[in-house]
Amino acid sequence: MRSDLRRLRSDRLGLNLCQQALGFVDKVLINTCLTPPVLRGSDFIGKAQGDIPSHNTVAVLLTCRRPAIKSASDRLHQRGDRRMTERETMPVDVVIIGAGPAGLAAAIRIKQLNEELEVLVLEKGAEVGAHILSGATIDPRALDELLPDWRETCPLAQTPVTENHHWVLSKGGKREMPHFMMPPFMSNDGNYTGSLGNLTRWLAEQAEELGVQVFPGFPAAEVLFDESGAVMGVATQDMGVAADGSHKGEYEPGMEFHAKYTLFAEGARGNLTKQMKAKFALDADCEPQVYGLGIKELWDIPAEKHEPGRVIHTQGWPLSENDAWGGGFLYHQADGQVALGFVTALDYANPYLSPFQEFQRWKLHPAIREILEGGKRVAYGARAINEGGWQSVPKLAFPGGALIGCAAGFVNVPRIKGTHTAMKSGMLAADAIAAAVAAGREKDELSEYDSELRSSWIADELKLVRNAQPLVAKFGGDLGTMFAGIDMWMRTLKIGLPFSMGHHPDYEETGRADLYSPIKYPSPDGKITFDRLTSVSFSFTNHAEDQPCHLQLKDPELQVESEFEVFAGPSARYCPAGVYEWLVEEGEEPKFVINSQNCVHCKTCDIKDPNQNINWTTPEGGGGPNYPNM
């Protein structure tokens, strides 16, 4: 069994590398002035963070890979006609969709409990960590429970938090929010700052040492059900399908993985998770999930400005000027780097607002700019973040499967942390699976996972902050922050209000364009601020161009009649990667253009489109961003 899985993994990885190499050559020939878009995190092993190889270095890397690529591709074509028309089927004990912190924690925990169980992790990125993006300042509570000796070998241990600041920004100034005003759980004492992508790479190594099979470049595209309607596994996506649906020469059908239990760890707004919520009515008794869009950059800064472990969070300007809310972060991490970013809550009303441009404006604030001047940006990325809190957590278990991590939504919004809760949810699901299999069960509902989580420290932590997000959303940054602080203190002191505030879906909050004025944003200076397309090149994003569009437009006419004519085409502004454009020529109907090859998989379009007319699905395996250490 295990040798078969390894062979399939090897052959698929060969195909992924081949396609990425071809995509890289094509992009460089077209535009050699951009930073290479196809670097993978593995190319950075042993290098300082942000040490981006030159074009010549990348050419050498690709040349070195070519013999392996060719032989793997040749083996793929030698399998015979049967593989061209039929799916291979592999039975395993547990399938986990997504090699993020929740999925890998679950895999490790299962093998700790029962080393005989066959555990398979499917990851849509070209490698583990390629699609992982977070701040990140991480609470090690779950890591301590799962792998108590992690500080001895994990790269996260390099940079413990040494300073913690919270700035309230005005256009030209700032004031520090005193720590004594915040509940004790808001402290970053004992936390660490570093790359979540590198943490997941390290977790994958620990999982593989225990015998877990980790398959990068295998996007789960279809959920499989047995005759009773229970989840019985997943099918991966077909490879080598052309944009018109025909099969290219390298076509390979997807594979079916049948399992006793399937864990959905896709992260925020996963495509298959959406389907499970709808099929099993998982969110019938909870508030709708709401989101923020986090946009992040990595910078190398001068040594004299770098203070390892210094953590800064901001609120207020610039979003305060546009009746929206969110905030920034700037973390001094290892190797002379800072990770900085900006989160915009996606319930903003003004359709002319651009989260990307607000991030660029934020970097121009004197307190932020002073840190960046003399530095160099080395990476860029974006992704959606769950912000709904405890009241938006859906039913977690259903026949044959369960939601874990950000697929369910365990982010603590005031703390700006979700890695520890995601990992703990995976561990609790693993406990339930190990017990169920030991009892001879399979493909039933893991109700004990749901109940255990709701009585765990995840629930205790999220209940303390359950009203923080809705209070800020309702009353704005200043009053809302004050009310949220009062509510959190009252709950800390066991005298909290006996109810949870509700949410409205983000897309419903978008206002008509005739009620707002366009926002004039400053032009990029190319030193501190940048344009979107140049930024996308620093995400190292690559998709095979001749493939079906993974951004599915349900009704083209509705997009023109409503998204453009009523809302003035906000898709051209909310997307942080320049995927969507409206082309307007005199005398002709506006044309909606989808540049899917730019997509960084942030899922914002799936969330914010005012008519829910765009459906994000997984592209061909290995496509998307290739974050080195985000």
Alpha helices in 158-317 (DSSP H): 196-209, 271-279
- Specify the CATH number for the domain of residue 566: 3.30.70.20
Read off the pLDDT band of 44 (50, 70, 90): very low
Catalytic site residue 286? no
Q: Supply the pLDDT for residue 166.
A: 94
Same domain for 428 and 452?
yes
Q: Which of 529, 525, 480 is nearest to 501 (CA)?
A: 480
Gap between the Cα atoms of 135 and 413, Å rounded? 13
Q: With respect to residue 489, please indicate whether it lies within any of the assigned structural domains.
A: no
Gap between the Cα atoms of 5 and 1, Å rounded? 6
Mean pLDDT along residues 18-42? 33
Q: With respect to residue 341, please indicate whether it lies within any of the assigned structural domains.
A: no
Find the helix packing angle between 457-464 and 468-492, rounded to 10°: 110
Lowest mean pLDDT segment, chosen from 102-106, 330-334, 489-493, 622-626: 489-493
Q: Are 567 and 610 in contact, with CB atoms under 8 Å apart?
A: yes
Same domain for 419 and 270?
yes
Gap between the Cα atoms of 270 and 525, Å rounded? 35
- Structure token pair of residue 553: 């437009």
Same domain for 35 and 100?
no
The residue to which tokens 């004992």 are assigned: 190
| Beta bridge partners of residue 213, listed in sequence order | 120
- Direct distance between the N- and C-terminal alpha carbons of the chain, in angstroms, rounded to an integer: 34
Q: Are 220 and 259 in contact, with CB atoms under 8 Å apart?
A: no
Catalytic site residue 575? yes
pLDDT digits (tens, 9 = 90+) for 375-396: 999 999 999 999 999 999 999 9
pTM: 0.87
With a cut of 80, say whether residue 29 has pLDDT above it: no
- Structure token pair of residue 517: 């004025």
Beta strands in 54-207 (DSSP E): 89-91, 94-97, 119-123, 137-138, 163-169, 174-176, 192-193
Q: Supply the pLDDT for residue 273.
A: 98
Lowest mean pLDDT segment, chosen from 28-37, 147-156, 222-231, 491-500: 28-37
Same domain for 132 and 232?
yes
Q: Supply the pLDDT for residue 5.
A: 52
Catalytic site residue 602? yes
Q: With respect to residue 354, please indicate whether it lies within any of the assigned structural domains.
A: no
pLDDT digits (tens, 9 = 90+) for 312-368: 999 999 999 998 999 999 999 999 999 999 999 999 999 999 999 999 999 999 999
Find the helix packing angle between 419-438 and 457-464, rounded to 10°: 150
Same domain for 202 and 257?
yes
pLDDT digits (tens, 9 = 90+) for 552-583: 999 999 999 999 999 999 999 999 999 999 99
What type of residue sits at position 416? I
Same domain for 239 and 213?
yes
Portion of the chain with pLDDT greater than 90, in percent: 77
Q: With respect to residue 555, please indicate whether it lies within any of the assigned structural domains.
A: yes
Same domain for 436 and 542?
no
Q: 434-444: b or e for each residue (b if 16 or more CB lie within 10 Å)? A: bebbeeeeebe
Gap between the Cα atoms of 32 and 25, Å rounded? 10
Catalytic site residue 419? yes
Q: With respect to residue 457, please indicate whether it lies within any of the assigned structural domains.
A: yes
Same domain for 53 and 137?
no
Task: Tell me which of 575, 596, 604, 618 is the catalytic residue.
Answer: 575
Same domain for 232 and 128?
yes
Same domain for 113 and 73?
no
Q: With respect to residue 349, please indicate whether it lies within any of the assigned structural domains.
A: no
Query: Mapping DSSP to helix (H, G, I), strand (E, B) and coil, where does residue 528 land?
Result: coil
- Specify the CATH number for the domain of residue 440: 3.50.50.60
Gap between the Cα atoms of 56 and 59, Å rounded? 5
Task: Tell me which of 109, 141, 377, 383 is the catalytic residue.
Answer: 383
Task: Tell me which of 35, 195, 344, 419 is the catalytic residue.
Answer: 419
Alpha helices in 78-187 (DSSP H): 82-85, 101-113, 141-146
Q: Are 37 and 323 in contact, with CB atoms under 8 Å apart?
A: no
- The DSSP letter of residue 514 is G
* Domain final position from 24, 46, 79: 79
Q: Residue 51: how many CA atoms within 13 Å on its side-chain side? A: 12
Gap between the Cα atoms of 62 and 42, Å rounded? 13
Gap between the Cα atoms of 482 and 488, Å rounded? 10
Q: With respect to residue 227, please indicate whether it lies within any of the assigned structural domains.
A: yes
Lowest mean pLDDT segment, chosen from 29-43, 285-299, 444-458: 29-43
Catalytic site residue 383? yes
* Domain final position from 450, 466, 482: 466
In sequence order, which residues have a C-beta less than 8 Å from that of residue 458 and are 6 or more positions away? 410, 421, 424, 425
Q: Supply the pLDDT for residue 291.
A: 98
CA 410, 40, 148, 417 torsion: positive or negative?
A: negative
Q: Are 126 and 218 in contact, with CB atoms under 8 Å apart?
A: no
Q: What are phi and psi of 152, to 5 degrees?
A: -75, -30
Rounded to the nearest integer, the mean pLDDT of the chain is 88
Tell which wins on pLDDT, 18 or 98.
98
With a cut of 80, say whether residue 7 has pLDDT above it: no
Task: Tell me which of 18, 40, 109, 134 is the catalytic residue.
Answer: 134
In sequence order, which residues have a C-beta less than 8 Å from that of residue 449 and are 6 or more positions away? 396, 397, 402, 428, 429, 431, 432, 433
With a cut of 60, say whether residue 61 has pLDDT above it: no
With a cut of 60, say whether residue 230 has pLDDT above it: yes
- Structure token pair of residue 301: 């800064």
Task: Tell me which of 236, 541, 605, 618 is the catalytic residue.
Answer: 605
In terms of residue numbers, what domain contains 71?
A: 1-79
* Domain final position from 466, 496, 520: 466
Read off the pLDDT band of 152 (50, 70, 90): very high
Same domain for 125 and 49?
no
Q: With respect to residue 471, please indicate whether it lies within any of the assigned structural domains.
A: no
Read off the pLDDT band of 86 (50, 70, 90): confident
Same domain for 106 and 71?
no
Task: Tell me which of 193, 201, 602, 604 is the catalytic residue.
Answer: 602
Count how many domains the chain has: 3
- The DSSP letter of residue 600 is -
Q: Supply the pLDDT for residue 587.
A: 84
